[in-house]
């Protein structure tokens, strides 16, 4: 506590004590009156506005990144990507079944295992395992996934 402070000119000679709290400073006279002119505001209007703007930006960033908020186009892109992955997964299963049901599957799998990664796609395309019945070409990614599954088993 600070001693020796005096009140304004209206009450000369009255000693005031100053108290400090976490957010404001105020002065109390010996009679217990608080001098409201000396009370500091914990927040000024510009601080409130800037704090609100920062909170909005932070909440938006957290919401869009962690909580799954999204725009319509990001949802469509995600759904399209997921459906493509599911399609490639199912077509690769058919490719594996066609490779295992071929007449020379053991020799073909041995050749496939001997090839480097980047040549396996061409080998599967030449063997036409990744080409689905009723189609002229294979879906992108099917041959790679098919080769990985054939070599894992």
The pLDDT, as a whole number, for residue 21 is: 46
The pLDDT, as a whole number, for residue 33 is: 67
- Three-class DSSP category at 130: coil
What mean pLDDT is reported for the chain? 79
Per-residue pLDDT of 25-61, as tens digits, reads 555 665 666 665 555 667 788 899 999 999 999 998 8
Residue 34 or 152, more confident: 152
The pLDDT, as a whole number, for residue 8 is: 47
Per-residue pLDDT of 100-134, as tens digits, reads 998 888 899 999 999 998 899 889 988 989 988 88
Minimum mean pLDDT range among 9-18, 75-84, 102-111: 9-18
If you write DSSP's letter for every residue of 68-122 in order, what string do you get?
----HHHHHHHHHHHHHHHHHHHHHHHHHHHHHHSTTHHHHHHHHHHS-HHHHHH
């Amino acid at each position: 506590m600070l001693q020796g402070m005096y009140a304004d000119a209206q009450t000369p000679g009255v000693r005031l004590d100053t108290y400090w709290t976490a957010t404001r400073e105020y002065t109390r006279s010996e009679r217990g009156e608080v001098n409201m002119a000396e009370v500091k505001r914990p927040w000024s209007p510009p601080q409130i506005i800037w704090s609100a703007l920062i909170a909005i930006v932070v909440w938006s960033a957290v919401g869009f990144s962690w909580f799954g908020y999204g725009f319509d186009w990001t949802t469509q892109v995600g759904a399209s990507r997921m459906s493509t992955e599911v399609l490639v997964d199912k077509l690769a299963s058919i490719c594996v079944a066609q490779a295992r049901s071929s007449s020379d599957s053991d020799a073909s799998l041995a050749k496939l295992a001997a090839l480097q990664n980047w040549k396996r796609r061409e080998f599967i395309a030449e063997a036409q395992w990744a080409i689905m019945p009723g189609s002229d070409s294979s879906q992108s990614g099917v041959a790679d996934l098919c080769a990985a599954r054939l070599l894992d088993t």
